[in-house]
């Protein structure tokens, strides 16, 4: 137990500092802060996951990419409930490669409301090979994402791109596989891949058009 405390203490300090930073950051009024559960057990499991896949247990990231997702569920309530769980429920294939639950930095509801779930510079579990350098944005729904969600995603991506000069790329989850041979893509377990279709090609096309009109230029491929 003492050994575990020694391992977790530095990261608990980091999380506390992140929480303080969020308070000082004064998020725009259109971003609602609704943090998911990130207790000691989740920290330990996430460090275990990072070590397994990236060769480091450092969970602090420098954002280089934004990845857009859909939840596959129907409601904000169910999405928040699912993300707050410490361990994966179901999804047996994913469990083989780490017990820690999936997580993303932001969640966009059907009506366009935006929720911040975790610090931007804390590693989530939302995309194979790129968690160590990416911010994840989830959208409630599946292939029927709304126009309000589209506009909210554009607004959020613009905000993040201006906040972090290190961000170079914007991809849909289905596009992650393009980065397999890119230096940013790190995956120590050979063959660990999943086929993705979210958030849909049309959604990403529309999102990129809106962003180009805002003079936000982020690359979609290596």
> Which pLDDT score is estimated for 130?
99
pLDDT of residue 64: 99
**How many folded domains does the chain comprise?**
1
Q: What domain range is 169 assigned to?
A: 2-213
pLDDT at position 20: 47
Percentage of residues in the chain having pLDDT higher than 70: 89
Within-domain flag for 222: no
Distance from C-alpha of 40 to C-alpha of 156, rounded to nearest angstrom: 29
Q: Measuring CA to CA, how many Å separate 64 from each of 20, 137, 185, 200?
A: 23, 14, 11, 22
- Distance (Å, whole) CA 104 – CA 23: 20
* Cβ atoms of 211 and 157 closer than 8 Å: yes
Model confidence over 80-89: pLDDT tens digits?
999 999 999 8
Q: Does 166 reside within a domain?
A: yes
Q: What's 43's domain CATH number?
A: 3.40.80.10
Cβ count within 10 A of residue 148? 14
Residue 59 lies in a domain: yes
Confidence of residue 91 (pLDDT cuts 50, 70, 90): confident
Which whole number is the average pLDDT over 106-117? 99
Residue 152's pLDDT is: 99
Distance of alpha carbon 170 from alpha carbon 197, whole angstroms:
15
Q: How confident is the model at residue 117 (pLDDT cuts 50, 70, 90)?
A: very high
pLDDT in tens, 181-220: 999 999 999 999 999 999 999 999 999 999 999 999 999 9
Strand pairing category for 106-108 and 134-139: parallel
Count Cβ atoms within 10 A of the Cβ of residue 149 and give its class: 0-12 exposed, 13-18 middle, 19 or more buried: buried
Q: What's the pLDDT score for residue 173?
A: 99
Verify cis geometry, omega within 30 degrees of 0, for the bond prior to 199.
yes
Kindly state the average pLDDT of the residues 124-147: 99
Q: Is 12's pLDDT higher than 70?
A: no
Given a contact cutoff of 8 angstroms between Cβ atoms, the answer to whether 159 and 167 are in contact is no
The answer to whether residue 220 sits within a structural domain is no
Is residue 221 domain-resident? no
Predicted pLDDT of residue 41 = 97
- Residue 146: inside a domain, yes or no? yes
* 22 or 105, greater pLDDT: 105
- Per residue in 17-61, pLDDT (tens digit) is 555 455 556 899 999 999 999 999 999 999 999 999 999 999 999
Q: Band of the pLDDT at 16, cuts 50, 70, 90? A: low
Look at residue 11 and tell me if it is in a domain: yes
pLDDT for the residue numbered 9: 57
With respect to residue 209, please indicate whether it lies within any of the assigned structural domains: yes
């Amino acid at each position: 137990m003492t050994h575990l405390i020694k391992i977790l203490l530095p990261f608990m300090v980091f999380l506390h500092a992140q929480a303080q930073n969020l308070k000082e950051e004064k998020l725009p009024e259109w971003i609602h802060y609704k943090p998911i559960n990130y207790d000691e057990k989740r920290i330990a499991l996430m460090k275990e996951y990072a070590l397994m896949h990236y060769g480091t247990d450092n969970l602090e990231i420098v954002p280089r990419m934004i990845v857009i997702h859909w939840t596959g569920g129907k409601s904000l309530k169910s999405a928040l409930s699912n993300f707050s769980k410490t361990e994966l429920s179901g999804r047996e294939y994913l469990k083989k490669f780490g017990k820690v639950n999936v997580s993303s930095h932001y969640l966009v509801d059907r009506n366009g409301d935006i929720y911040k779930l975790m610090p931007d510079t804390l590693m989530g579990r939302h995309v194979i090979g790129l968690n160590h350098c990416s911010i994840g944005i989830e959208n409630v729904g599946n292939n029927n994402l709304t126009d309000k969600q589209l506009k909210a995603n554009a607004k959020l991506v613009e905000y993040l791109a201006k906040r972090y000069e290190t961000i170079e790329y914007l991809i849909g989850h289905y596009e992650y596989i393009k980065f397999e041979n890119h230096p940013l893509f790190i995956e120590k377990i050979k063959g660990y891949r999943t086929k993705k279709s979210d958030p849909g090609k049309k959604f990403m096309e529309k999102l990129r058009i809106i962003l180009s009109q805002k003079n936000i230029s982020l690359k979609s491929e290596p």
